[in-house]
Structure 1
Amino acid sequence: MTQMTRRRFIGISAAAAGLSLLPFGTVAGDMPDAVVWRGRAMGAAAELILHHRDRELARALVARMAGEIDRLERIFSLYVPDSSLSQLNAAGALAAPPRELIELLSLCRDVWAASAGAFDPTVQPLWALHARHFASANADPAGPAQDEIEAALALVGFGRLAFDNSRVALPLKGMALTLNGIAQGFLTDRIVGMLRDAGVTDTLADIGEVRAMGRRGDGSPWRVGIGGLGDTVELVDRAIATSSPDGFRFAGPGSPAHLLDPRTGRSARRYGCVSVLSPGAAAADGLSTACNFLDPPAIEALLAAFPETQVRLRSADGRRLRLG
């Protein structure tokens, strides 16, 4: 099966009360006060670097964050065979689901409903179809045949999913969930929350998605570049998530992208890059996926359900728009 090969950088710069903030992006080897963890997060190699004047506190925080990353991956990841999500997909049901799974599915339902189905975690059968197609010899570069796409679409529909604190159930054989379009944001929110609880007042966390808490050490906003837009945004207590069809294509340039419309089964082509700024990283993550399949008026309607949220995008012909 075709699989994305990625390396995820997880960077944390943090300052607690009375402690100076070290420059974000400093190379760990050049910063003796940095504490580094390397492992895996949501199917990708990952690195976490915590810059903090109190080295012992940094070590303790890194250990806790690494443990939390591992714990949540064992709930949300498709790359862990015995994760809660993998068990659900294999059996079609999961009893006594973890609280975090229900929390994230509830947010998925909100984004799914507000986007009229443009965001739908049950899109996994469609993604698996494309992966199988492009793993075969002499695969049609245009993608799977229409009848195959329609068969996969028959298994897509978040509204069919039943879940509560006691059980999650997929009603049709062959249905499956992927949380890859939102779990990184959830993980980012969780790590920032842990830092806040530990007394950290200002931080920038990049865990696939970016979330800022407070400001830089000099009082200025955090500045984050959006490569696909050639733009820079200032963040104070906000998150940003960016998605692009060019982030992964099944068979190189011009082939279908990993962003697949759960309503039509076709690859995203409307925009070259979509970035969403929102108070939380999980919401920004899910919305950035949905917006790839919506025209500007539909995006404006979607944003009505998510206060303090903005969208910046680059259309396929190079035009740049700001919505919200």
Structure 2
Amino acid sequence: MTRRRFIRISGAAAGLGLALGAGFARPGRTSPLFHEWRGVALGADASLRIYHPDAAEAGRLITDALSEVHRLERVFSLYDEASALSRLNREGELADPPQELVELLATSARYARATGGAFDPTVQPLWALYAKHFGMADADPNGPSPVDVRGAVAKCGYQRVTVDAGKVAFGLPGMALTLNGIAQGYITDRVAELLRARGVTHTLVDIGETRALDAHPVGRPWSIGIKDPRAEGRLLATLAVDNQAVATSGGYGTEFDAAGRFNHIFDPATGLCANRYLSVSVVAPTATCADALSTAFSVMPIDRASSALTDAGAMRAYFVLPDGHVVDRSA
């Protein structure tokens, strides 16, 4: 199974959630000022494209940015058994938690309230249930039993997590957190803030989510395409982004079964998988906000999600319906 995130800003990467529009200058071609790194962060492909006249300084900036990414991975990763999040999930509580974990859990609770609980980082028991079920050779293609789903839902609930500077603790046995619906946005913002503090402008940061620092160097907004999950290389819409962030969520990012009926985005209220839309894209001031809302909106009716845009401080949302039609809503 692949990671939940499938967002990129490279038009050459087919089948992904976002594509950078034409006109992006690449090193050695139309501009010597863009310096690029590609790799993996939090288990997902990531990239940095820095607009800077000094190649040596650009290299130092990329090194510093990657150090920040790796530092934060040691806080939020579900794959690193020594991470703060992994230790919390194993033990049910964590004394003296990292400040970033406290901050992101408080932010998660704010977006949970803004979306009426549709965004909830405590859905990890549902992930564990579906992954275990479909990992069996004789798995029922109809998914886990309703009894098992209800049992996992009973272990969810962001209100049951106590968070303060001294300790994070779960209110029930068997609870567990996943920050995969917001951590990549948070890390993207932290890298963007690091670069901004060092004087970087006219740059795109993609650490699982995409954030633009200012406009494109030629003076126009960046062009970000919403890709069609059903057709490789086809764009359904193009967004103009200037000093904003974009995130996309969709069930096809990780599917548990070959038929694609069950995926990694869960409705915390029912324990069922999100199948309302092919994908949801959100434009917001920060990647943290866009990340959380694109996850939450995947399980929300359009009208309810639209009303949450203003509450959460986002600008626009794009809902790709099963027939490929795009519904655009603004705050």
In the superposition, the TM-score normalised over structure 2's length comes to 0.87
User: Which stretch shifts more, 103-112 or 305-314?
Assistant: 305-314
Q: Distance in 1 between matches of 2:282 and 2:177?
A: 23
- Pick one of 296, 307, 318 that aligns with 1:312: 318
Q: Distance in 1 between matches of 2:25 and 2:73?
A: 25
SS at structure 2 position matched to 1:311: strand
Equivalent position of 1:174 in the other structure: 174
Q: Does the 8 A contact of 1:43 with 1:78 survive in 2?
A: no
Equivalent position of 1:239 in the other structure: 245
Q: Distance in 2 between matches of 1:247 and 1:27?
A: 30
Task: Give RMSD over aligned pairs.
Answer: 2.4
User: Which stretch shifts more, 227-236 or 127-136?
Assistant: 227-236
Equivalent position of 2:284 in the other structure: 278
Post-superposition offset of 1:253? 3.3
Q: Distance in 1 between matches of 2:247 and 2:163?
A: 27
Q: Distance in 2 between matches of 1:165 and 1:257?
A: 34
Q: Does the 8 A contact of 1:8 with 1:44 survive in 2?
A: no
Instruction: Output one character per residue of 1:32-75: Cα deviation in whole Å (capped at 9) or x when no partner.
Output: 77655555311235454545330111111011011000000000
For residues 74 and 92 of structure 1, do their structure 2 counterparts lie closer, same or farther at Cα, with a shift above 3 Å needed?
A: same
**How many residues are treated as equivalent by the alignment?**
312
Equivalent position of 1:222 in the other structure: 222
For residues 40 and 254 of structure 1, do their structure 2 counterparts lie closer, same or farther at Cα, with a shift above 3 Å needed?
A: closer
Bigger RCO (CA 8 Å, 6+ sep): 2
Equivalent position of 1:18 in the other structure: none
Instruction: Output one character per residue of 1:111-149: Cα deviation in whole Å (capped at 9) or x when no partner.
Output: 111111111000000001100011101211221111110
For residues 7 and 271 of structure 1, do their structure 2 counterparts lie closer, same or farther at Cα, with a shift above 3 Å needed?
A: closer
Q: Distance in 1 between matches of 2:314 and 2:304?
A: 17
Q: Distance in 2 between matches of 1:201 and 1:72?
A: 23
Give structure 2 stretches of 5+ with no counterpart: 11-22, 229-234
Q: Distance in 1 between matches of 2:194 and 2:317?
A: 27
Instruction: Output one character per residue of 1:204-260: Cα deviation in whole Å (capped at 9) or x when no partner.
Output: 112211111111111111111110361110111111111111122112333301111
Structure 1 vs Structure 2: percent identity of aligned residues?
43
For residues 172 and 317 of structure 1, do their structure 2 counterparts lie closer, same or farther at Cα, with a shift above 3 Å needed?
A: same
- Pick one of 265, 269, 275 that aligns with 2:271: 265
Alignment of 1:75-90 (within 5 A): 75-90=75-90
For residues 93 and 69 of structure 1, do their structure 2 counterparts lie closer, same or farther at Cα, with a shift above 3 Å needed?
A: same
SS at structure 2 position matched to 1:121: coil
SS at structure 2 position matched to 1:78: coil
Give structure 1 stretches of 5+ with no counterpart: 12-22
